[in-house]
Amino acid sequence: MSAVHSFVLHPFARKDKERPNVDIRIIGVLGAGQMGSGIAQLAAAAEYDVRLCDASLAQAEVGRGKIDAVLGRQVEKGKMEDAARKALVARIKPVATPADFADCDLVVEAATENVTLKLELFRACDAAMKKGAILASNTSSISLTKLAAATKRPPEVIGMHFMNPPPLMKLVEIVRAIQTSEETFKDTVAVAHKMGKTTTVSNDAPGFLVNRILIPMLCEACFALQEGVGSAEDIDTGAKLGLNHPMGPLELSDLIGLDTVLAIADVLYRDIGDDKYRAPTNLRNLVAAGWLGRKTKRGFYTYDDKGQKAGRA
Ligand code: NAD
């Protein structure tokens, strides 16, 4: 699949002649939640060997189990051979800690959107990974430049922002830290293309491009609901039928995870410093209650065990 950008040398990029040529064959994925498990599935489908890690080995195994279940449904529908499902799942090895990423050529961090946690995980990955291996983050909003500075490999740090759900969404937004080398950029774009994705490029700014556009719209929908301008259903139906969006902003927020939406909004507000990015109270309250959307079966709407919308919360 072709990229929608050209390889223009980033103004801050430097040629890193020190970096050994890394043939990317083994990909580590850190975080086995909805994004990490989707990224692991994509990587295995592109015939990379995958190391899948979460806060514990048991959670990584649960992540691989979810991938197996998703693929099992594809087999039931006749969209995949059972042998292909088994081969794909066999390429994913659950591991216990980032220390198990020593043989990885690329690690994609996809843990909870929290800067303190990501800095800690970046340091742990950096310590374990071999020289020249690329350390990417799927962060939705956190500064890649800050994450890169916490490591001993700033030229090999980059943003690989997959969309939700990763196997279905066509885009990977590549985010360049100011330290990212041209080689790292090219190799990362090549991996995204091998996974069948189209890439766009963003420089390192709060929310990058996609969430800089999306999150203010999601928050505005929350404000409209909070002020009683209309019901949740009318807000979502308005966006779907009036704007031709495939999902309304409140149901999309539930899909993304309200904790993630709030975390991104808080980064935009703090790092850009404009009041227009402030998060609405109803969103903050739902997160405080632990009602995080589909992943907890309750957010703006309620969901059944299969993740189907059951009603209004
Ligand atoms: P999630 O809540 O589904 O998964 C987060 C995972 O991180 C969990 O499995 C959790 O156990 C794990 N984790 C927490 N602490 C950890 C630790 N110390 N070590 C290892 N793993 C740990 O969240 P998600 O939606 O998969 O989001 C993950 C990342 O992807 C975030 O940075 C988010 O901003 C980004 N992202 C999310 C979306 C979306 O729509 N949800 C889209 C693009 C990017």
Final residue of a structural domain among 203, 227, 255? 203
Instruction: Write the pLDDT tens digit of every residue in 164-194.
Output: 999 999 999 999 999 999 999 999 999 999 9
Final residue of a structural domain among 203, 238, 253? 203
Nearest CA to ligand 1 atom 41: 256
pTM: 0.91
Q: How far is the CA of 151 from the centre of ligand 1 (A)?
A: 20
Q: How far is the CA of 21 from the centre of ligand 1 (A)?
A: 30
- 47 and 144 inside one domain: yes
- 196 and 230 inside one domain: no
Does any domain span residue 161? yes
CATH of the domain at 217: 1.10.1040.10
Q: Are the CB atoms for 178 and 205 separated by under 8 Å? A: no
Q: How many structural domains is the chain composed of? A: 2
Instruction: Write the pLDDT tens digit of every residue in 198-214.
Output: 999 999 999 999 999 99
DSSP-derived 3-state class of residue 150: coil
Find the distance separating the first CA and the last CA of the chain, reported in whole Å: 41
State the Cα–Cα distance between residues 23 and 180, nearest whole angstrom.
Answer: 18
Does any domain span residue 2? no
Find the domain containing 252 and state its range. 211-300
Cβ(139) – ligand 1 distance below 6 Å: yes
Is pLDDT above 70 for 311?
yes
Final residue of a structural domain among 172, 187, 203? 203
Cβ(188) – ligand 1 distance below 6 Å: no
Phi-psi region of 176 (alpha: psi -120 to 50; beta: other; left: phi over 0): beta
